[in-house]
Chains A and B, each alone.
Chain A
Amino acid sequence: QKEVEQNSGPLSVPEGAIASLNCTYSDRGSQSFFWYRQYSGKSPELIMSIYSNGDKEDGRFTAQLNKASQYVSLLIRDSQPSDSATYLCAVRYGGSQGNLIFGKGTKLSVKP
């Protein structure tokens, strides 16, 4: 069974704080991992992708991957009210033609 698990939240952080979002997956053979942000009524947009163990930074976002623990995380530094959205973790199963399996999303609320 292909599974991607996330805490559904909601996760509430004050403006300027670090938001930490976590995700675990079931298939050890997975190679590609993604974080999408979805605002209410909009389509998901890709914010980070990661393929290798360790950290990958892009602006205020850092994705972390630990394949041994089957764990992916997303850190958002200096959180802004505009970061309030649902964050979806996704894992590609089945190779390059496979599909993404999405977690159920974590709703983040950043309070001014």
Chain B
Amino acid sequence: DTAVSQTPKYLVTQMGNDKSIKCEQNLGHDTMYWYKQDSKKFLKIMFSYNNKELIINETVPNRFSPKSPDKAHLNLHINSLELGDSAVYFCASSQVLTGGDYGYTFGSGTRLTVV
């Protein structure tokens, strides 16, 4: 299946731990993103990569570090987790073609709960 896949789907961890979320897309898209969706459903951009190169790095704590080993993968590592990091994290990919802009394809999300 062509898709954006994220793992894990659920992540429960204690404050202070370090965790990673993985994302892979097999759509051949050039650009990948991480978004955070808070409890009020607001989707906020964190990072974007185009062909492994960082394009956007919004105001995100240094504890968050994205890594893109190739254009099909964009992982998110979070150090020293805090209660406020609890949210749903979405990976997405996008390709703007001459024929049009088709927006994003989203992964299924990772629900992170910090206790």
In this complex, which of B31, B33, B104 has the most chain A Cβ atoms within 10 angstroms of its Cβ?
B104
Check B109 against A102 for contact (C-beta < 8 Å). no
Check B45 against A34 for contact (C-beta < 8 Å). no
Using Cβ atoms and an 8 Å threshold, which residues of chain B touch A34? Answer: 103
A97: contacting residue among B31, B42, B90, CB under 8 A: B31
Check A51 against B102 for contact (C-beta < 8 Å). no
Write the B16-49 contact mask toward A (1 if CB under 8 angstroms, else 0): 0000000000000001010000001111110010
Using Cβ atoms and an 8 Å threshold, which residues of chain B touch A70? Answer: none
A43: contacting residue among B41, B96, B108, CB under 8 A: B108
CB of B66 within 8 Å of the partner chain: no
CB of B100 within 8 Å of the partner chain: yes
Within 8 A of A (CB), among B62-115: 90, 94, 96, 100-109
CB of A45 within 8 Å of the partner chain: yes
Closest Cβ neighbor of B56 among chain A residues: A99
Cα(A100)–Cα(B46), bound, Å? 11
Cα(A46)–Cα(B114), bound, Å? 30
Check A46 against B104 for contact (C-beta < 8 Å). yes
Min C-beta distance of B4 to chain A, whole Å = 9
Cα(A13)–Cα(B102), bound, Å? 29
CB of B13 within 8 Å of the partner chain: no
Cα(A11)–Cα(B50), bound, Å? 37
Interface stretch, picked from A20-28, A59-67, A74-82, A85-93, is A85-93
Using Cβ atoms and an 8 Å threshold, which residues of chain B touch A42? Answer: 108-109
Check B104 against A100 for contact (C-beta < 8 Å). yes
With A32-B103, A49-B100, A90-B103 known as contacts, the answer to whether A43 contacts B45 (CB < 8 A) is no
Using Cβ atoms and an 8 Å threshold, which residues of chain B touch A97? Answer: 31, 48, 50, 55, 96
CB of A29 within 8 Å of the partner chain: no
Cα(A45)–Cα(B90), bound, Å? 12
Give me the interface of A with B, judged by CB distance under 8 Å: 31-32, 34, 36, 38, 42-46, 49, 51, 86, 88, 90, 92, 96-102, 104-105
